[in-house]
């Protein structure tokens, strides 16, 4: 009888001990909230098709990162030696973003930009979103380096946001990355009302001249001149810009098709999976659910609004100096934020609503890819001043 | 001509390789702080107070100082210490420090020199060849106060690094004893609203893209003219190219044509037709004989019963 009692007690103790290690024993409200956020991201990705390539890994990563556990067993992403911690290293040290830029370069056709180079200036104007958000963040009491990291959300470029925040404010990286990707996914919701508000009916009907044919020589020269010019000006943007233009040269040279295919295919897919999952997992409730995160989300939304506004208004201003027939449809101004190709798609869709024969996509791709260059340059400037 | 170009290119490449380069090296190691008279200051691992020399790696990659020399009287082996090899501690990390104790006894370990600092008033750091002094310090032994170290003081915007008496001894650490304010916060002090940053950064972004714009605008024009000239010289007067896409006067192809080309390419790439798994041909296909594909050994053949 005593032996049986001892056995049952031992069994009970074991079960109690085991229970201590389960998620149920360690769960907090924060974990549940974040798991709901993760599920919401997955819903948006699958049901609404909002940036599924990013929101599915990030959403699932949020769930993975918020499974409660007993600390000290090398499980969590912030625990030294855990597998997730090793994978997170690529985010923390800014390894993944340049690799993603390599892939982006290898899959981007800069023809629209080369054929109509004045569209580059729209890509520059939209970067005001970054510095508008920077000023607002300073106003709300963030430190200068935190403000710089938050401001980059306005560049609407996930890898750039991760790269810069890993250097300037690693503590806020999770919130900044999730905020950047969330608003990038919500570009079709955020931008159209601003575009409609800031343009007249007549402006929306402007038909732009079809782009000229771009020669192979120009396409090859673009990444070479681009890297030399931008990186000599802003060397701190080298990891991003160097890889972007290198990827593009692989694509355009015509002699490195295999490398270009790898960079734009398997490589970018692998890195996207890793970056999405680990960024999602880095949003552990204990570090993520803070007042600062709420502030970052609010400032992120404002930065997108400022960027879109700046892009559209700049086109209107630019049109004052352009002859009739050369004018730019201000509906492509929003594409200056570098959410490629979503913001260009928004230009196309809004344009078609007012004129079924006005296809703006190819024109909007110009400022869109210029925005990628612009935001990388802006990140380099911020890093140069605040890093 | 091609041979000449190749030769010139090869020479240029060799010339570039021969140019001096500023890679991370022993040049990045400097004598950062020295305490000659140690009475009540830093104690070594043996509990003794000796003079010491602090070396600092001001570069951004690790540098191994093994094999280099510290000397207070170059040429005199009793006043020159060769830093031993095979000790991982001689690898100085970027922006890192090591401290050598000058107790005159070289048998205590890697970081104990065979000389003391109170004899000559000079310290040299030589590279592994022992001939090139990469850094040196001269001091007046008589004027030095006990427990007051000499070293590089705070970086001054106008004068750069200054050498002199330090307010406190800081072996193995920065000589800066005041609180170090991050660069970003110094920037913020000058620009609390962020307006200057916004203007500066936007100017840089605009400049970068404006330069690209101007370059590619010019390049586009030049290439278009070259193309026009080429076409003009290639085609006979009044001739039109049959089947060519209609081109506007401005040299651009109409959007309808572009759309048609795009659709054609898309259909071609997607290959909407069913893919045939076999090739049907009227040509005779000759294959090398192989028993593996021979019909003689096919399983459909009726087995021959041998009696």
* pLDDT at A70 exceeding the cut of 90: no
Q: What is the nearest CA distance from B200 to chain A, expressed in angstroms?
A: 9
* pLDDT at B157 exceeding the cut of 90: no
Residue A286: pLDDT band (50, 70, 90) is confident
Q: Give residues with Cβ within 8 angstroms of A228, minimum separation 6.
A: none
pLDDT at residue B186, rounded to an integer: 82
Give residue-wise pLDDT tens across range A223-232. 999 999 889 9
By percentage, how much of chain A surpasses pLDDT 90? 52
Q: How many CA atoms lie within 13 A of A147 on its CB side?
A: 27
Averaged pLDDT score across all residues of chain A: 90
Mutation site, A114, A121, A122, A124, interface B, largest B CB count within 10 A: A124
pLDDT at residue A102, rounded to an integer: 95
A181 in Cβ contact with A158 (< 8 Å): yes
- The encoded tokens of residue B182 equal 């991050």
Average pLDDT over residues A40-66: 90
Residue B265: pLDDT band (50, 70, 90) is confident
A103 and B CB contact within 8 Å: no
Q: What is the nearest CA distance from A29 to chain B, expressed in angstroms?
A: 36
Class of residue B257 by CB neighbours under 10 A (exposed 0-12, middle 13-18, buried 19+): middle
Ranges A177-181, B98-102, B177-181, B205-209: which has the least confidence: B177-181
Class of residue B287 by CB neighbours under 10 A (exposed 0-12, middle 13-18, buried 19+): exposed
* pLDDT at B21 exceeding the cut of 50: no
Strand partners, B101: B52, B112
Q: How far apart are CA A171 and CA A216, in angstroms?
A: 45
CB-CB under 8 Å, A132 with B208: no
Residue B97: pLDDT band (50, 70, 90) is very high
Residue B266: pLDDT band (50, 70, 90) is confident
- Stronger pLDDT, A101 or B236, i.e. the higher one: A101
B216 and A CB contact within 8 Å: yes
Only one residue has tokens 């230009």, namely A347
A260 in Cβ contact with A247 (< 8 Å): yes
Q: How far apart are CA B193 and CA A139, in angstroms?
A: 7
CB-CB under 8 Å, A210 with B254: yes
Which residue of chain B has the CA closest to A233?
A: B208
Residue B23: pLDDT band (50, 70, 90) is very low
* pLDDT at A184 exceeding the cut of 60: yes
Average pLDDT over residues A193-200: 94
Give residue-wise pLDDT tens across range A154-171. 888 888 998 999 889 988
Torsional sign, CA B264, B268, B271, B277: positive
pLDDT at residue B261, rounded to an integer: 84
Q: How far apart are CA B176 and CA A331, in angstroms?
A: 55
- Stronger pLDDT, B290 or B199, i.e. the higher one: B199
CB-CB under 8 Å, A115 with B188: no
- Stronger pLDDT, A325 or B274, i.e. the higher one: A325
pLDDT at residue A320, rounded to an integer: 92
pLDDT at residue B20, rounded to an integer: 41
Q: How far apart are CA A36 and CA A41, in angstroms?
A: 9
Averaged pLDDT score across all residues of chain B: 78
A287 in Cβ contact with A76 (< 8 Å): no
Q: How far is CA A135 from CA A129, A141, B12, in A?
A: 10, 10, 49
Give residue-wise pLDDT tens across range B226-246. 878 887 877 665 555 444 555
* pLDDT at B104 exceeding the cut of 60: yes
pLDDT at residue A333, rounded to an integer: 93
pLDDT at residue B220, rounded to an integer: 83
Residues 106-135 of A with CB under 8 A from B: 113-115, 117-118, 120-121, 123-125, 127-128, 130-132, 134-135
A87 in Cβ contact with A182 (< 8 Å): no
Angle of CA points A307, A308, A312, to nearest 5°: 120
For chain B, give the DSSP string: -HHHHHHHHHHHHHHHHHS----SSGGGEEEEEEES--SSS---TTS---EEEEEEE-SSS-EE-TT-EEESSTT-GGGEEEPPSS-GGGEEPTT-EEEEEE-S-TTS-TTB-SS-STTTSEEEEE-TTSS-EEEEEE--GGGPPTT--EEE---BTTTBS-EEE-SS--TTS-S--SPPPPHHHHHHHH-TTSHHHHHHHHHHHHHHHHHHHHHHHHHHHHHHHHHHHHHHHHSPTT---TTPPPB-TTSPBPHHHHHHHHHHHHHHHHT-SPPPSS---SSPPP----TTT-GGG-TTSPPPPP-
* pLDDT at B275 exceeding the cut of 60: no
Q: Which residues of B touch A139 (CB under 8 A)?
A: 193
Tell me the pTM. 0.75
Q: How far apart are CA B99 and CA B71, in angstroms?
A: 15
pLDDT at residue B3, rounded to an integer: 66
* pLDDT at A83 exceeding the cut of 80: yes
Pick from B55-59, B161-165, B284-288 the range whose average pLDDT is largest: B55-59
Average pLDDT over residues B152-157: 67
ipTM, 2 dp: 0.86
Angle, in degrees to the nearest 10, between helices A361-386 and B195-234: 140
* pLDDT at A182 exceeding the cut of 80: yes
B164 in Cβ contact with B153 (< 8 Å): yes
Residue B18: pLDDT band (50, 70, 90) is very low
pLDDT at residue B19, rounded to an integer: 44
* pLDDT at A350 exceeding the cut of 90: yes
């Amino acid at each position: 009888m005593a032996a049986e009692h001892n056995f049952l007690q031992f069994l009970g103790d074991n079960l109690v001990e085991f229970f201590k290690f389960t998620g149920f024993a360690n769960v907090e409200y924060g974990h549940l909230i974040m798991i709901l956020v993760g599920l919401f991201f997955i819903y948006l990705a699958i049901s609404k098709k909002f940036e599924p390539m990013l929101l599915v890994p990030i959403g699932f990563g949020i769930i993975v990162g918020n499974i409660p556990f007993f600390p000290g067993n090398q499980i969590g992403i912030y625990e030294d030696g855990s597998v997730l911690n090793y994978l997170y290293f690529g985010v923390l040290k800014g390894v993944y973003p340049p690799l993603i830029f390599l892939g982006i370069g290898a899959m981007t056709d800069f023809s629209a930009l080369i054929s109509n180079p004045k569209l580059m200036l729209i890509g520059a104007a939209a970067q005001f979103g970054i510095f508008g958000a920077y000023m607002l963040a300073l106003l709300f009491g963030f430190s200068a380096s935190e403000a710089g990291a938050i401001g980059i959300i306005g560049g609407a470029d996930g890898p750039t946001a991760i790269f810069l925040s890993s250097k300037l404010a690693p503590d806020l990286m999770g919130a900044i990355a999730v905020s950047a990707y969330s608003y990038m996914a919500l570009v079709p919701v955020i931008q159209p009302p601003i575009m409609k508000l800031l343009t007249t009916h007549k402006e929306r009907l402007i038909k732009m001249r079809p782009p000229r044919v771009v020669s192979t020589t120009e396409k090859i020269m673009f990444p070479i001149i681009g890297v030399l010019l931008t990186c000599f000006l802003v060397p701190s943007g080298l990891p991003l810009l160097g890889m972007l233009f290198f990827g593009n040269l692989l694509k355009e040279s015509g002699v490195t098709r295999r490398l270009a295919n790898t960079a734009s295919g398997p490589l970018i897919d692998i890195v996207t999976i890793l970056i999405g999952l680990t960024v999602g997992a880095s949003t552990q409730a204990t570090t993520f659910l803070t007042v600062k995160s709420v502030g970052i989300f609010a400032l992120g939304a404002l930065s997108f609004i400022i960027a879109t506004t700046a892009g559209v208004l700049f086109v209107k201003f630019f049109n004052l100096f352009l002859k009739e027939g050369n004018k730019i449809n201000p509906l492509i101004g929003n594409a200056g934020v570098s959410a490629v190709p979503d913001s260009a798609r928004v230009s196309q869709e809004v344009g078609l609503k007012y004129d079924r024969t006005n296809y703006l996509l190819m024109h909007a791709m110009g400022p869109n890819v210029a925005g990628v260059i612009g935001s990388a340059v802006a990140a380099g400037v911020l890093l140069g001043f605040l890093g | 001509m091609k041979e000449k170009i190749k030769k010139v290119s090869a020479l240029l490449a060799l010339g570039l390789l021969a140019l001096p380069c500023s890679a991370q090296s022993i040049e990045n190691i400097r004598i950062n702080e020295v305490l000659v008279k140690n009475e009540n200051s830093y104690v070594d691992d043996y509990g003794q107070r000796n003079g010491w020399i602090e070396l600092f790696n001001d570069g951004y990659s690790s540098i191994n100082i093994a094999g280099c020399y510290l000397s207070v009287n170059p040429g005199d082996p009793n006043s020159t210490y060769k830093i031993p090899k095979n000790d991982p501690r001689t690898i100085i990390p970027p922006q890192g420090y090591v401290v050598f104790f000058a107790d005159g006894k070289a048998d205590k370990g890697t970081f104990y020199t065979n000389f003391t600092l109170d004899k000559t008033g000079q310290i040299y750091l030589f590279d592994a060849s022992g001939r090139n002094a990469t850094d040196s310090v001269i001091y007046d032994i008589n004027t030095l106060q006990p427990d007051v170290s000499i070293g590089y003081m705070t970086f001054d915007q106008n004068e750069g690094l200054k050498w002199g008496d330090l307010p406190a001894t800081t072996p193995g650490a920065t000589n800066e004893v005041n609180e170090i304010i991050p660069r970003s916060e110094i920037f913020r002090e000058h620009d609390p609203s962020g307006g200057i940053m916004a203007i500066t950064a936007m100017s840089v972004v605009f400049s970068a893209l404006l330069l690209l714009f101007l370059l590619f605008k010019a390049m586009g024009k030049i290439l278009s003219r070259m193309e026009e000239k080429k076409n003009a010289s290639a085609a006979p007067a009044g001739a039109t190219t049959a089947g060519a896409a209609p081109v506007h006067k401005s040299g651009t192809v109409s959007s309808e044509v572009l759309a048609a080309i795009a659709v054609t390419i898309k259909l071609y790439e997607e290959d909407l037709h069913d893919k045939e798994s076999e090739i049907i041909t009227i040509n005779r296909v000759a294959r090398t004989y192989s028993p593996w594909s021979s019909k003689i050994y096919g399983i459909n053949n009726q087995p021959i019963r041998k009696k």
